[in-house]
Amino acid sequence: MGYKCDVRVRKTWALVIAIVAIAGCQNTYAQAAGARMTGKPEIRFTPVLAKHSKNFSLQDSLAIGVDRMQRNFEPMRRQTEHWRQQQLSGASAKLIIYRAFIEGDLQAPKHLAGLVHDLYFNPKYEEFQPRTMWSLSNAFTSAFKELEPIPQFKATAKLGVFLEATAAVAA
């Protein structure tokens, strides 16, 4: 018998997965979060105290995970500033979108190609008006918001590598 989750449950699990990934835990996300599925469509959180996790400190693990993330802030800030300065012609932007979706250089659903194009060439926000690599990056990430949490995470994770490689060619 299948079990159907509503959107709130899927988003809760996505949050649990993200917290466990940040903490660098090796357990399954259900065990690490202490979640147990019941027959009802809800999640109950209870502590899991097994031999391998009784000395586990979520606070310490999260502190380590946050520290690791903060180490990447400065390179990410420099990259963002570089992309804000890097002007793109309309043809270059179209070529990058084409390579991402049509040639399949970016592992993301192809149906988002039109949305990325629209968000870049007709941005919703004034801040994204300049024709830069940063605006194109924002068009991609805005389009990815249409995806479910896990595919959104996967596509966003691959976007940076794709745009870095593409930015070097476009420059």
Question: Which pLDDT tens digit goes with each residue over 112-152?
Answer: 999 999 999 999 999 999 999 999 999 999 999 999 999 99
The mean per-residue pLDDT over the stretch 55-69 comes to: 82
pLDDT for res 62:
85
Cα gap 99→96, rounded to integer Å: 5
| Tens digits of residue pLDDT in 82-121 | 999 999 999 999 999 999 999 999 999 999 999 999 999 9
CB-based contacts of 159: which residues, under 8 Å, 6+ apart? 106, 108, 137, 140, 141, 144
Contact in structure between 88 and 131 (CB atoms under 8 Å): yes
CA 78 from centroid of its chain's CA atoms? 19
List b or e across 127-146, with b for residues whose CB sees 16 or more CB atoms inside 10 angstroms: ebeebbbbbbbbbbebbbee
